[in-house]
């Protein structure tokens, strides 16, 4: 009511309390100078990458070349894009990254919720198994995963025992399913769900909500930092994945952007001007995503694991 | 990165063994007969023909010619990088789905032939063209021909003629003592006399080992031979150069970075014949002013490491006649010359010795004139495991306090264990 009255026409709005400025101290100046220097250091490789992408091979190799290109060679971008079907690669990377992100958010949040909020026999053991799974190096899983994909029953001409065909190799299934859920995401979601007050859950139960609706409508909207963090990390790792797509695909129509960029890393020396142009383009989506979600992303890491 | 790669290779090795034991390896694919007509859809796995030019060369020019000759064969190309080639082949083997035609490096034939992953080729292929005598040696295993060479990559010493002239040095070093003395003389004002480290340490040490009269393995691939004095001296020579100040591991350049002789930071360096192509793109004035020369490393004998890319056929191909036809076609002079030009590599056919490309690229010309000094790495079925261990085992002797003798002994133990497991 009070709010309505305050917004009546003609009623003067009381002045907003101004934020009290913190005094400028030597420590504060030193902090800003340090942070600015560190930020600059972090940005330098990206700036260098963009500027290198605009130089000629002769200039890149030259000892006397400065940071800025002498001749801004924008044709590196068009030439790099001609070198391979990058539009197809980018589309494929995007489909895979989005699929991984959505699947990971849905499945890992459900798993995290169950482990955090539902009491069932063996939940502790399952949680510890997830923790153990966090410790398995990605590279040691490559071969078993490859064999699972290759011998997938009733797929790609395989019989019920996975023999006779090529299974999921060179298909979208091979690119999407194996990387769909990560133990880290399950762990992160569990930690966030644990933090939520039990009263929220009890109130929802008293209102007659079932378990799935409590998860979907009451609890999950409270863990936005976890959702953003998992989404960004999943998208990033999926977008940057190189080895797995290289191993399970053969045709250009299923190759991803990181595999596409490898055409510039030749055995006898990378074509730096093209590689930097291609990498700049491949980096842009990630930069944009991080700029959009950075606040939640930091919050997600800052509060993960706290109770 | 390397740790991850080694972990993966170890895992793949273990996984391949498990897959083979459980019977889900290559046995699941029935190989056809090579005597029938060349027809069907086949896959070519290649770590070369990279970048836009390479793809155009392979898919339009080379495979265009192949399609005309064999209209009933469809070729799908699977591009990979040399860094991931072993993973790609090994996972394919474990899954029983190897590409029909594979391109691989020198030294790789015995490991994959011993596992029966690749098929022997008819001996008449060896005489179809005029091969330099020892070019086909890395293509053989157990007396049989398994592959044909596409391009060779030799390791030679490139030097700055202008630095030599300034220092009054009239001839290139004929042995290590001279090399060390010249390197010392040329080291000044922040410039190093000799840079052996800007190529892969494994290949560099092997070149020195061969130049010192040493060998990696016995002819049957069952005995380790590099653990004698010749191998130790080869590694000790690097340490001596560093002690003199005329070589520096810290000044090694990364792949694709302008090499130290290009930038004038070194007067001599170990490099591959492909450097010519890099200089042509990055420092054309060095070639125009004739500032670069090259010679073959020598001590007890001249030696030039011969790497390269070979083409071979899967043992489990369902269209072996088509696969064999493609192997043969990729090794014709026309295909070879195109690939060599694109990579700045050495064509291994005498038919091409007088070609314009060979005469223009002085490093390639020098390599072809010295093919009698060429030596190859590998020679044992355990090579794929051993090759991954050479660099990390020798590096501590170069950057740290470990003695050359201890590092070589350690590498010998690792190699013997790997051979013992075969």
B307–chain A nearest CA distance, Å: 12
> Left (φ > 0), alpha (ψ -120 to 50) or beta: where does B47 sit?
alpha
Judge: A263–B264 Cβ closer than 8 Å, yes or no.
no
Report whether pLDDT(A17) > 80.
no
A193–chain B nearest CA distance, Å: 34
pTM of the shown model: 0.83
- Any residues with CB less than 8 A from the CB of A246 and at least 6 apart, and which? A259, A262, B80, B84, B88
Query: Residues 358..417 of B with a Cβ closer than 8 Å to A: which?
Result: none
pLDDT at B342: 87
Query: Among all chains, which residue has been given the structure tokens 């020579």?
Result: B237
pLDDT at A95: 96
Question: In terms of DSSP bridges, do strands B40-46 and B73-79 run parallel, antiparallel, or are they unpaired?
Answer: parallel
**Facing residue for B258 by CB, picked from A61, A82, A83:** A61
pLDDT at B22: 41
Q: What gap in Å lies between CA A23 and CA B21, rounded to an integer? A: 73
| pLDDT tens-digit series, residues A33-83 | 999 999 999 999 999 999 999 998 888 878 777 888 988 889 999 988 888
Query: Among all chains, which residue has been given the structure tokens 């591959």?
Result: B272
A270 vs B: CB within 8 A: yes
Judge: A143–B283 Cβ closer than 8 Å, yes or no.
no
Half-sphere exposure of A35 (CA within 13 A, CB side): 6
pLDDT at B256: 75
| Cα dist from B34 to B111, B136, B145, whole Å | 23, 22, 15
| pLDDT tens-digit series, residues A192-241 | 999 899 999 899 999 999 999 999 999 999 999 899 999 999 999 999 99
pLDDT at A178: 93
pLDDT at A294: 76
Assign 3-state DSSP to chain A and report helix, strand, coil percentages, each to 5.
70, 0, 30
Best of B59, B95, B155 to mutate (most A CBs within 10 Å, chain A): B95
pLDDT at A304: 55
Q: What is the largest CA-CA distance in chain A?
A: 81
Q: What gap in Å lies between CA A235 and CA B369, rounded to an integer? A: 54
Best of A143, A246, A260 to mutate (most B CBs within 10 Å, chain B): A143
Cα A155 versus chain centre, distance: 29
Confidence of residue A270 (pLDDT cuts 50, 70, 90): confident
pLDDT at B266: 97
pLDDT at A4: 41
Judge: B91–A143 Cβ closer than 8 Å, yes or no.
yes
| Polymer length of chain B | 422
In eight-state DSSP terms, residue B346 is B
B80–chain A nearest CA distance, Å: 7
pLDDT at A292: 83
| Polymer length of chain A | 307
| Cα dist from A144 to A255, B117, B316, whole Å | 21, 20, 22
Are A111 and A215 a contacting pair, CB within 8 Å? no
Q: If we measure between CA atoms, which residue out of B325, B350, B345, B346 comes closest to residue B63? A: B325
Query: Which residues of chain B fall below pLDDT 70?
Result: 1-34
| pLDDT tens-digit series, residues B230-255 | 999 999 999 999 999 999 999 998 87
């Amino acid at each position: 009511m009070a709010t309505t009255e305050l917004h009546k026409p003609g009623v003067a709005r009381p002045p907003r309390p101004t934020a009290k400025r913190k005094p400028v101290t030597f420590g504060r100046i030193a902090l800003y100078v340090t942070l600015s220097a560190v930020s600059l250091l972090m940005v330098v490789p990206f700036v260098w990458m963009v500027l290198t992408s605009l130089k000629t091979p002769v200039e890149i190799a030259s000892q006397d070349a400065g940071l800025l290109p002498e001749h801004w060679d924008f044709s590196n971008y068009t030439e790099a894009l001609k070198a391979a079907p990058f539009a197809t690669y980018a589309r494929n990377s995007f489909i895979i990254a989005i699929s991984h992100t959505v699947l990971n958010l849905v499945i890992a949040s459900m798993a995290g919720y169950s482990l955090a909020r539902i009491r069932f026999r063996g939940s502790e053991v399952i949680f510890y198994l997830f923790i153990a799974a966090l410790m398995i190096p990605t590279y040691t899983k490559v071969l078993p995963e490859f064999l699972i994909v290759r011998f997938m029953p009733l797929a790609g001409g395989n019989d019920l025992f996975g023999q006779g065909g090529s299974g999921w190799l060179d298909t979208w299934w091979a690119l999407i399913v194996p990387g769909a859920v990560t133990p880290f995401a399950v762990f992160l979601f569990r930690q966030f769900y644990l933090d939520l007050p039990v009263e929220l859950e009890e109130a929802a139960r008293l209102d007659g909500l079932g378990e799935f609706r409590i998860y979907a409508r009451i609890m999950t909207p409270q863990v936005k930092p976890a959702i953003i963090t998992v989404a960004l990390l999943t998208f990033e790792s999926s977008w940057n994945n190189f080895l797995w797509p290289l191993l399970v695909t053969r045709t250009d129509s299923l190759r991803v952007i990181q595999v596409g960029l490898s055409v510039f890393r030749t055995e006898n020396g990378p074509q730096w001007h093209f590689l930097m142009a291609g990498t700049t383009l491949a980096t842009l989506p990630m930069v944009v995503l991080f700029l959009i979600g950075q606040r939640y992303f930091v919050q997600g890491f800052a509060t993960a694991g706290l109770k | 990165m390397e740790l991850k790669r080694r972990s993966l290779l170890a895992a793949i090795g273990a996984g391949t063994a498990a897959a083979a034991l459980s019977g889900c390896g290559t046995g699941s694919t029935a190989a056809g007969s090579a005597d029938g007509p060349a027809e069907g859809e086949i896959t070519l796995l290649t770590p070369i023909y990279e970048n836009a030019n390479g793809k155009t060369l392979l898919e339009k020019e080379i495979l265009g010619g192949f399609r005309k000759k064999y209209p009933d064969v469809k070729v799908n190309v699977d591009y990979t990088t040399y860094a991931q080639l072993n993973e790609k082949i090994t996972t394919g083997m474990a899954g029983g789905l190897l590409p029909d035609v594979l391109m691989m490096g020198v030294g790789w034939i015995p490991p994959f032939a011993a596992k029966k992953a690749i098929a022997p080729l008819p001996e008449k292929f060896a005489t179809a063209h005029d091969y330099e005598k020892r070019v086909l040696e890395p293509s053989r295993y157990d007396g049989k021909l398994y592959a044909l060479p596409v391009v060779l990559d030799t390791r030679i010493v490139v030097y700055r003629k202008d630095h030599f002239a300034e220092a009054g040095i009239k001839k290139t070093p004929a042995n290590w003592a001279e090399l060390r003395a010249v390197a010392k003389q040329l080291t000044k004002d922040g410039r190093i006399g000799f840079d052996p480290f800007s190529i892969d340490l494994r290949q560099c040490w092997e070149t020195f080992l061969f130049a010192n009269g040493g060998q990696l393995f016995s002819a049957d691939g069952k005995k380790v031979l590099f653990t004698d004095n010749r191998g130790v001296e080869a590694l000790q020579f690097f340490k001596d150069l560093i002690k003199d100040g005329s070589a520096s591991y810290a000044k090694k350049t990364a792949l694709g970075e302008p090499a130290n002789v290009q930038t004038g930071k070194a007067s001599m360096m170990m490099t591959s014949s492909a450097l010519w192509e890099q200089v042509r793109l990055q420092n054309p004035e060095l070639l125009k002013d004739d500032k670069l020369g090259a010679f073959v490393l020598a001590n007890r004998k001249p030696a030039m490491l011969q790497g390269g890319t070979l083409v071979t056929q899967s043992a489990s191909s369902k269209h072996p006649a088509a696969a064999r036809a493609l192997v043969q076609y990729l090794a014709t002079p026309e295909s070879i010359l195109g690939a060599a030009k694109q990579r700045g590599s050495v064509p291994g056919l005498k038919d091409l010795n007088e070609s314009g490309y060979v005469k223009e690229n002085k490093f390639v010309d020098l390599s072809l004139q010295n093919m009698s000094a060429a030596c190859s790495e590998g020679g044992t079925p355990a090579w794929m495991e051993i090759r991954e261990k050479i660099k990390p085992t020798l590096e501590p002797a170069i950057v740290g306090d470990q003695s050359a003798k201890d590092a070589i002994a350690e590498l010998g133990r690792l190699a013997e264990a790997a051979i013992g497991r075969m």
